[in-house]
A and B are shown apart, each in its own frame.
Chain A
Amino acid sequence: MANADVIVIQGSNMAEAHPVGFQWVMEAKRRGAKVFHVDPRFTRTSALADEYLPIRAGTDIALLGGVVNYILSNELDFREYVLAYTNAATLVSEDFVDAEDAEGIFSGFDPQTGSYVQTSWQYAGQEASSGSGHTAAERETAAGLLHESHGAPVAGAVERDETLQHPRCVYQILKRHFARYTPEMVERVCGVPRERFLELARAWTENSGRDRTGCLIYSVGWTQHSVGVQYIRTGAIIQLLLGNVGRPGGGVLALRGHASIQGSTDIPTLFNLLPGYLPMPQHDAHPTFDAWVESIRHPGQKGFWGNARSFAVSLLKAYWGEAATPDNDFCYGYLPRLTGDHGTYQQVLDMIDGKIKGYFLLGQNPAVGSAHGRAQRLGMANLDWLVVRDLFMIESATFWQRGPEVATGEIVPQECRTEVFFLPAASHVEKEGTFTQTQRLLQWREKAVDPPGDARSELWFFYHLGRKLREKLAGSPLPRDRALLDLTWDYPTHGPHAEPDAEAVLREINGYDTTTGRPLAGFAEARDDGSTAVGCWIYSGVYADGVNQAARRRPGQEQDWVAAEWGWAWPANRRTLYNRASADPQGRPWSERKRYVWWDAEAGRWTGHDVPDFEVSKPPSYRPPPDAVGPAAIAGDDPFVMQADGKGWLYAPSGVLDGPLPTHYEPVESPVRNPLYGQQANPTRKMYAHPVNATNPSPPQEHSQVFPYVFTVSRLTEHHTAGGMSRTVAPLAELQPEMFVEVSPELAVLVGLNHLGWAHLISSRAVIEAKVLVTDRVAPLRVEGRVIHQVWLPYHFGFEGLVTGDSANDLFGITLDPNVLIQESKIGTCDVRPGRRPTGPALRELVSDYRVRAGVVPGGNPPAVTPGVSIETTGSTGEGEGNR
């Protein structure tokens, strides 16, 4: 990041939410980089940026699409890079119909399931042989983006037009798709003055090419939307067009939500993944081990997933040790299976419906931190048991006693059936282990002090819970208990509390030879015959030579700027992914200034500042034979080795469930009619028709004016997420001691709000109150000739701790992105009124009153397809309407 010549921060308040990482933005700025910040309000990040662009929340694709259009219509792309390293030249099926030509819906839409059949999106000639067909089932388990890590399949060679002139080549499709995203349109949709937009577009493109690079930074301001994945895709398209991927000072940087969230996706706490992004098996699709493995590695496919069988076998060997043998498919039968949507929001609704009996909550405070707080609390109030492990007595442990629903009479403490077990947890300074941060860097941390009283580490809790369960089940004849009894559960312990040895766990994650016990040097040593056990294949190498590589702390001044000996980055201690792209197709650095990894012709190998992300002795001139599969099918100038065609995808023929190209849809709740398409919101969004859930109306539905204002929520530097680690600590709590709402002076006048007075905000789910902060940092925007007022709230507050307040997340309903099942919790509509909210039953009456006025039926959803929008159902007519 420090090497960037321009930095664009959008969907992220980096200075406030990632102040430590922000030092590298400041370092880049010190070296002369220009920093842009695009955000609905002026934040501490904007204050430090060179340029700030205010934007209407939820319109990022329109702005980024404007940049794509600026690049393509002025031919400012890094042409050599684009031609060689992206799929710009690849021809797309003639069955494909662009959303531009069909009111915002691509070909292949199935209105029955609200999802796409992706056949018509494929590369030309591969409609039947690659990609996926129907995607409705994939959406249920957030399986669409499995291909993000696995590379969507592409069978055989693709047709290309190296002149980029063919009307069906990706370059031309892209150009047509974004042609309407002009500076004028950006101004109309986003409320960004066109001169300011052009300033951004100019700076971004001028700092690209051989000699210059730009870096794009986003965070949950992009992901937590019903079109969030496509926001990021649009950013990635820009970065590919400008040659900013795989090069120093380039990249699309995803800032993670908090410490080791990257680690908790690598070794996942997600329902649909196993360690190292191996997919959780599906009950009906993967009855056998072979069926499961083949679905990952796609026999005959090009790229690096050909070794998936070794990774899968080694994982099962790590789980079940000697019990896992080739004869029993390495205990594949013990793995739990998915039967549908087991995501966190489905679970909450299932709790309300009495389908879930028990719940473990660790490092999470959904009563405050998750969308639709009332649903979260009502769900947790309807369990047999709930285990909460936390540093402090958080809202998710006391909701049954002191929560807002107790005040309204919806939860009666004496009658609440949930038995809550609160177990004190050790904090990060009271236990050892690793953090994996946003750059995939594992850093070991030592224990500084013993945890107080009964507080214990997570490792202690799960190890001893497992030990006791196994003791209780010992000798059980039931087959269902075998999975637990056969587990490898032999971690050495130490100290008075029998704390398991964290390094022993890291060694298992790294992997070892099952006969000699020798730690593996890397995942290339993983075998599919059961001779290796690897807990997480992408982390293999972190314990190479029996040394904790994550604990390395060689100071920066004692090594080069890449600092390869500080911690350990997966995979293979590689700091920049796809770094083959930092050299030109012939393997020479694009420029001296941006030299990073290059081909050393004399030595016959790739070399440079980083570990090359390429087969180290494959020359740039290598061309695969026509029948090659796996890594051998990747040519010497194909840097994107995890993609089946080795190219960066400007256009995604499969893998993204809501379209091969990003398209501007309005947020689910918006006061504005989509200015670009007949289709209002993402037609494939995941909706839950449940009585507890309700959605505010948006145009063209009637009564959207009942909720006329846009609200957005995020963090303050002073607090940590749901507040469990900051509202409980005096030196932090006093820095932001009360819940507040930021409003513009104009809205304050309009609604009658006073600085430091009270306001309450109402949605069709909840009403919350907050102190008013009138500030110039929030400004109304002019959109489509109307003034749109946006307000902002911190989401840190709840009813426990030294400082308390209503929870902003209570205002949200539940609607999810179709690709990853993340909730739209960065934007909603509401009404704002002066004064405090009502209390007791009157509070629910006020919400009901608003629902009646807005015509909201709880449990009903607005139609996925906006009435009046016609649908191209089959997408396989072959008439090529999209290619005029």
Chain B
Amino acid sequence: MVDPESRSGSPVAFDPAAAAGWVDAPPRMGFFTDTSVCIGCKACEVACKEWNGVPASGLDLLGMSYDNTGALTANSWRHVAFVEQPRPSGDDSAAPAGAGSTEFLGMPGAAPPGRTGSAHGRSDFRWLMMSDVCKHCTRAGCLDVCPTGALFRTEFGTVVVQEDICNGCGYCVSACPYGVIDRRADDGRAWKCTLCYDRIGAGMTPACAQACPTESIQYGPLDELRDRAAARVATLHERGVPEARLYGHDPSDGVGGDGAFFLLLDEPEVYGLPPDPQVPTGDLPQMWRRAGLAALAMAAGAVAAFLGGRR
């Protein structure tokens, strides 16, 4: 599925800041978002908007549980997803009568709530919350396609849009495998999380992580966060939470690993995350090679035809 060549080199040691030409770059910084302690308070969303001066995103009751933000957009750089979920099938210790007739697949239903049928004693129920954010990919599609250089790799290994350079072409929007980067309707330019480039440059913690009351959002050197995350998963497994797993931590995945990665309690799809994200520009070298080959072949064919025609 993934062209091995796009993973070539030594992924673990790959340093995007160095690759971007930074000399003596500081350690790569990132987010580890532990959804097992997220209380869905949305302080991250508010702190982000306050610090970054992000405009309002609309007064719409969406009916998606307590999520009235809807998605990561140009005007929402943190987004807390809420997933109301009966226990996955298999745990029917207190399942309401009749609930076993259909198998629950773990997807947030397209149908309105109430899919469990009868509900007396309906308490083995989960409400998953996750604060989503730009992943600051190791191999960032948005960065690869930006024709103006508005998007750049910072010395911290993060990916930032410079709003004074962005020309609003929108190539980056289709290049993001997570659907994160987005254009603002009024000015057409692309906006997304900067991992508070202005704050971290001054040695401060990004606004969302600073505001998080339960340390669900943790900020720090990526290596350290990955160690911490692995330990947390091990602890949760010990305590009988086998469904805990990491997402975006793996440097060998389709985007070379995320600078902002997550601890999830269910499949990524349940949270609206792609299960196997691929950087669309990952195939570019090969595509160019193939296009080049094709062009050569065509040229050769044309020459051959021409020469042949002479005959």
**A interface with B by C-beta (< 8 Å):** 15-16, 19-20, 22-23, 26, 30, 42, 44-48, 52-54, 193, 196, 716-718, 730-738, 740, 744-746, 748-749, 755-756, 771, 773-777, 779-782, 787, 802-803
Known: A47-B40, A730-B56, A734-B60. 17 other contacts (CB 8 A): A16-B39, A22-B213, A23-B214, A42-B127, A717-B39, A731-B45, A731-B49, A731-B56, A734-B69, A735-B42, A737-B59, A775-B113, A776-B119, A777-B127, A779-B120, A802-B59, A803-B59
Chain A residues positioned under 8 Å from B41 (CB to CB): 15-16, 19, 44, 717
Judge if B63 is at the interface, Cβ distance under 8 Å. yes
**Contact call A780/B61, Cβ cutoff below 8 A:** no
Nearest 9 pairs between A and B by C-beta?
Answer: A745-B114, A47-B127, A737-B59, A738-B61, A15-B39, A779-B122, A19-B41, A756-B63, A755-B112
**Contact call B42/A776, Cβ cutoff below 8 A:** no
**CB pairs A–B below 8 angstroms (15 shown):** A30-B37, A44-B41, A44-B127, A731-B56, A732-B46, A733-B59, A734-B57, A736-B66, A740-B61, A775-B65, A776-B114, A776-B122, A777-B127, A779-B123, A781-B120
Pick the residue among A45, A52, A780 that contacts B123 (CB under 8 A): A52
Given contacts A42-B127, A734-B56, contact A22 B84 (CB under 8 A): no
Judge if B269 is at the interface, Cβ distance under 8 Å. no
Given contacts A737-B68, A777-B127, contact A26 B122 (CB under 8 A): no
How many angstroms between the C-alpha atoms of A734 and B79 in the bound complex?
13
Judge if B209 is at the interface, Cβ distance under 8 Å. no
Chain B residues positioned under 8 Å from A54 (CB to CB): 121-123
Chain B minimum-CB-distance residue to A26: B214
Chain A minimum-CB-distance residue to B42: A735
Residue with the highest number of chain B CB atoms closer than 10 Å, among A20, A718, A744, A771: A718
Judge if B58 is at the interface, Cβ distance under 8 Å. yes
Chain B residues positioned under 8 Å from A756 (CB to CB): 61, 63
Chain B residues positioned under 8 Å from A771 (CB to CB): 61
How many angstroms between the C-alpha atoms of A23 and B211 in the bound complex?
12
| Binary contact track B18-57/A, C-beta < 8 Å → 1, others 0 | 0000000000000000000101111101100110000011
**Contact call A46/B37, Cβ cutoff below 8 A:** no
**Contact call A736/B213, Cβ cutoff below 8 A:** no
Judge if B15 is at the interface, Cβ distance under 8 Å. no
Chain A minimum-CB-distance residue to B61: A738
**Contact call A193/B121, Cβ cutoff below 8 A:** yes
Chain A residues positioned under 8 Å from B46 (CB to CB): 731-732, 735
Pick the residue among A736, A777, A781 that contacts B84 (CB under 8 A): A777
Interface residues on B, range: 35 or more
How many angstroms between the C-alpha atoms of A775 and B67 in the bound complex?
13
Judge if B215 is at the interface, Cβ distance under 8 Å. yes
**Contact call B213/A23, Cβ cutoff below 8 A:** yes
**Contact call B125/A734, Cβ cutoff below 8 A:** no
**Contact call B113/A745, Cβ cutoff below 8 A:** yes
Chain B residues positioned under 8 Å from A730 (CB to CB): 56
Judge if B251 is at the interface, Cβ distance under 8 Å. no
Judge if B252 is at the interface, Cβ distance under 8 Å. no
Chain B residues positioned under 8 Å from A48 (CB to CB): 37, 39
Chain B minimum-CB-distance residue to A749: B114
| Binary contact track B139-174/A, C-beta < 8 Å → 1, others 0 | 000000000000000000000000000000000000
Chain A residues positioned under 8 Å from B237 (CB to CB): none
Q: Which of B83-121 contact A (CB under 8 A)?
A: 84, 86, 94, 112-114, 116, 118-121
Judge if B260 is at the interface, Cβ distance under 8 Å. no
Chain A minimum-CB-distance residue to B235: A30
Min distance, Cβ A769 to any Cβ of chain B, angstroms? 13
**Contact call A748/B114, Cβ cutoff below 8 A:** yes
Judge if B289 is at the interface, Cβ distance under 8 Å. no
Chain B residues positioned under 8 Å from A781 (CB to CB): 120
**Contact call A23/B215, Cβ cutoff below 8 A:** yes
**Contact call A47/B129, Cβ cutoff below 8 A:** yes
Chain A residues positioned under 8 Å from B40 (CB to CB): 15, 44, 47, 717
How many angstroms between the C-alpha atoms of A52 and B119 in the bound complex?
15
Judge if B126 is at the interface, Cβ distance under 8 Å. yes
| Binary contact track B62-83/A, C-beta < 8 Å → 1, others 0 | 0101101100000000000000
**Contact call A780/B119, Cβ cutoff below 8 A:** yes
Chain A minimum-CB-distance residue to B46: A731
Chain B residues positioned under 8 Å from A716 (CB to CB): 66
How many angstroms between the C-alpha atoms of A124 and B38 in the bound complex?
54
Chain A residues positioned under 8 Å from B94 (CB to CB): 193, 196
Residue with the highest number of chain B CB atoms closer than 10 Å, among A48, A733, A736, A787: A48
Min distance, Cβ A652 to any Cβ of chain B, angstroms? 34
Chain A residues positioned under 8 Å from B56 (CB to CB): 730-731, 734
Residue with the highest number of chain B CB atoms closer than 10 Å, among A47, A780, A781, A787: A47
Chain B minimum-CB-distance residue to A52: B123
Given contacts A15-B39, A737-B61, contact A196 B122 (CB under 8 A): no
Chain A minimum-CB-distance residue to B49: A731
Chain B residues positioned under 8 Å from A746 (CB to CB): 114, 118-119
Chain B residues positioned under 8 Å from A803 (CB to CB): 59
**Contact call B113/A44, Cβ cutoff below 8 A:** no
How many angstroms between the C-alpha atoms of A376 and B45 in the bound complex?
35
Min distance, Cβ A719 to any Cβ of chain B, angstroms? 11
**Contact call B125/A777, Cβ cutoff below 8 A:** yes
Min distance, Cβ B16 to any Cβ of chain A, angstroms? 32
Chain B residues positioned under 8 Å from A774 (CB to CB): 112-114
Chain A minimum-CB-distance residue to B54: A731
Min distance, Cβ B94 to any Cβ of chain A, angstroms? 8
How many angstroms between the C-alpha atoms of A52 and B126 in the bound complex?
10
Chain B residues positioned under 8 Å from A46 (CB to CB): 127
Chain A residues positioned under 8 Å from B119 (CB to CB): 744-746, 776, 779-780
Chain A minimum-CB-distance residue to B48: A731
Given contacts A15-B39, A23-B215, A47-B40, contact A196 B112 (CB under 8 A): no
Chain A residues positioned under 8 Å from B129 (CB to CB): 44, 47
Min distance, Cβ A691 to any Cβ of chain B, angstroms? 37
How many angstroms between the C-alpha atoms of A782 and B215 in the bound complex?
39
Given contacts A44-B39, A48-B37, contact A53 B123 (CB under 8 A): yes
How many angstroms between the C-alpha atoms of A649 and B21 in the bound complex?
72
Chain A residues positioned under 8 Å from B122 (CB to CB): 54, 776, 779
How many angstroms between the C-alpha atoms of A140 and B49 in the bound complex?
49
Chain A minimum-CB-distance residue to B76: A734
**Contact call B127/A22, Cβ cutoff below 8 A:** no
How many angstroms between the C-alpha atoms of A777 and B214 in the bound complex?
23
Min distance, Cβ B12 to any Cβ of chain A, angstroms? 29
How many angstroms between the C-alpha atoms of A23 and B116 in the bound complex?
32
How many angstroms between the C-alpha atoms of A435 and B155 in the bound complex?
41
Min distance, Cβ A849 to any Cβ of chain B, angstroms? 30
**Contact call A776/B69, Cβ cutoff below 8 A:** no
How many angstroms between the C-alpha atoms of A780 and B43 in the bound complex?
32
How many angstroms between the C-alpha atoms of A780 and B122 in the bound complex?
9
**Contact call B45/A775, Cβ cutoff below 8 A:** no
How many angstroms between the C-alpha atoms of A411 and B198 in the bound complex?
53
Chain B residues positioned under 8 Å from A748 (CB to CB): 114
Chain A residues positioned under 8 Å from B214 (CB to CB): 19, 22-23, 26
How many angstroms between the C-alpha atoms of A718 and B127 in the bound complex?
17
How many angstroms between the C-alpha atoms of A773 and B49 in the bound complex?
27
Chain A minimum-CB-distance residue to B127: A47
Chain B residues positioned under 8 Å from A15 (CB to CB): 39-41
Chain B minimum-CB-distance residue to A736: B68
How many angstroms between the C-alpha atoms of A42 and B58 in the bound complex?
27
Chain B residues positioned under 8 Å from A45 (CB to CB): 39
Chain B minimum-CB-distance residue to A717: B41
Pick the residue among A19, A53, A744 that contacts B213 (CB under 8 A): A19
How many angstroms between the C-alpha atoms of A740 and B63 in the bound complex?
10
Given contacts A23-B214, A196-B123, A777-B84, contact A718 B42 (CB under 8 A): yes
Min distance, Cβ A348 to any Cβ of chain B, angstroms? 32
**Contact call A776/B59, Cβ cutoff below 8 A:** no
Chain B residues positioned under 8 Å from A777 (CB to CB): 84, 125, 127
Chain B minimum-CB-distance residue to A733: B59
Chain A residues positioned under 8 Å from B215 (CB to CB): 23, 26
How many angstroms between the C-alpha atoms of A359 and B161 in the bound complex?
54
**Contact call A782/B61, Cβ cutoff below 8 A:** no
